[in-house]
Amino acid sequence: MKRKRQISKIIPHILPLLVIVAVALFISVRHLNEPPGYIHAWAQSDNYSLALGFRHNHGDFFHPQTLIYNKQQYGFDDPESLVTGCDLPLHHWLVAVLMGVTNSTEPWVFRGFTLAVAILGLWALYLLAFVLTRSRAKSLLVATLTATAPSFAYYSASFLPTVPALSLAMCGLLFYVLHLRDSKRWMLYISLLLLTLAMMERTSFAVLWVAVAGFQLLRILRKETTFRVSWLPFFIGMVMFAAWWFWSMHLRQENGSLFLASLLPVHSRDDARFVFQNMHDRWRFHYFQRMQHWLYVTVAVAAVITLIIKKKKPSEERKPLPLWWLLAIWLFGEILFAIAMFEQYIDHDYYFLDSFFLPIVMLLLGLLAILPNPEKRWGRVVGLVAVLALTGFMTEKACNMQVERRKEGVEAFETAVRYKNANKMLTEAGYGIIGPRFLTLFSYPQNTPFVMMNREGYSVMWPDSDVVAHALMFDFDYILIEDEVYRREFEGSRYILSRLRRIGGDGELSLCELSDTVIHPTVEHFFE
């Protein structure tokens, strides 16, 4: 009988789960085997290479590596190691395991895993919303609005760890709210484990972790819980985060890093105004769709009206600390984080996902919880049908936005396409996976050529004479350059390109040796 009751509770939520899966797949499935490209291809290819790095180092979790030796953030002058300091690469390591299981390193493996984790997070968000609202329609609306927010939709099947960390945060919040409801200690432990992993994968989620700690402290002061219940899971979380942070700093000092590890605040009011204006002009309808902006306004107005007309019954019973306190602490922390990292917001829309996105979604959830639920069955059915219709419109707009977003950063996608058959070309020429080292010239972004070849080497993205001169001292054997790039950059970089002797190619790339003297006075002479 107990099992039957559990099943009867699950069955009504099957339709919302299927809708969430369908929306996520409809938006992302056509892009699942797409190589890194378009918006933030640089960061995406670097993260893709982390997963491939675990394939190269036989799954050594504590020595994450990418596929290029010369780091762009630290250690550029000592390019002798592929190891890189980074946030916890749990997501990348699991992708590497999946690559071993599927015997494939194609993009669909990485993107598919990220999408599966995103769906898990959306499902947790739906369940969290249902716990707080007791309405399937409201809960589904929160989940599908999140799934169709353009930036979330774009990164929900990408190579970045942002959405996986966001999903861990959603799951952690679900278990924390369940702990508040049921007072079960194991739920608090699971919640803090998930929130700590989110924080370790993306340090920006430390704001949420601290907000939960602050909220729990307020509950202790109000004697709603005890310090004895709370201290151990928070202490374990701090130890886990500190342990990996110090290890990552050690890796950075010893080997360099490809990933940013410093604050980037603006330095004047004018700079802040410039960043904010550019965020508004460039990203405002990438964070949420236009219709979603109006939906927020409508729900907020309806919630305010409901609070005004709703009669409060006096009660002597002391109520628990409302979750609005958690949201207030959280938002205050995100404002401080934004101040510390404001320069990143101008070009990196995923920093919004790291910070304000989830608290704004939770704000919508809180406003929906204020609105009364229909008492009649027909009212609930109408509400669910209306949400499904709205989900259809939001999904269509999200798909259109994915096309629009792929009009930026085309150069990065073209790099991936040109290097698609490079491994085959090199293998047929007798160069094995383990053997010669290659230097790629002027290919953007840095890791993409090596991701597509699944090989290791050195990268020079920019035709800067000083950078190139430094790179020529690296321990490489051959140079690879895209034919189109050679033609485009020849006049401006004649000092190096005129010295390349072409020894092979496939119509997209040229395999070259470096000569000590000029051997090609013109572009045409190079391709003869």
176: confidence class by pLDDT, cuts 50, 70, 90 = very high
Cβ–Cβ < 8 Å for 263, 340: yes
Q: Which three-class secondary structure string do you get for 420-472?
A: CCHHHHHHHCCCCCCCCCEEEECCCCCCHHHHHHCCCEEEECCCCHHHHHHHC
Per-residue pLDDT, 72 = 66
Q: How confident is the model at residue 320 (pLDDT cuts 50, 70, 90)?
A: confident
Q: Report whether 398 contacts 289 (CB < 8 A).
A: yes
When pLDDT is averaged across residues 48-57 and rounded to a whole number, the result is 96
- What was the pLDDT predicted at 75? 45
Token digits for 316? 């002597």
Which H helix or E strand runs over 87? Answer: none
Q: What angle do CA 139, 170, 213 make, to 5 degrees?
A: 120
The per-residue pLDDT for range 402-445, each reduced to its tens digit, is 999 998 889 999 999 999 999 999 998 888 777 789 999 999 99
What is the tens place of the pLDDT at every residue in 458-503? 999 988 888 898 888 888 999 999 999 999 999 999 999 999 999 9
Determine which helix (DSSP H) or strand (DSSP E) holds 234, and give its type and residue range: helix 227-255
Distance CA 49, CA 36 (A): 10
The answer to whether residue 151 scores a pLDDT higher than 80 is yes
- Kindly indicate the confidence band of residue 220, based on its pLDDT and cuts at 50, 70 and 90: very high
Name every residue whose Cβ is closer than 8 Å to that of residue 154 and which is 6 or more positions away in sequence. Answer: 39, 401, 402, 405
User: Which residue is listed with tokens 């101040």?
Assistant: 339
Q: Are 201 and 168 in contact (CB under 8 A)?
A: yes
Give the mean pLDDT of the chain.
91
Condensed to tens digits (0 to 9), the pLDDT of residues 114-144 reads 999 999 999 999 999 999 999 999 999 999 9
On whether the CB atoms of residues 515 and 501 are closer than 8 A, the answer is yes
Q: What is the dihedral of CA 235, 247, 353, 444, to 10 degrees?
A: 180
Q: Which residue has the higher pLDDT, 168 or 316?
A: 168
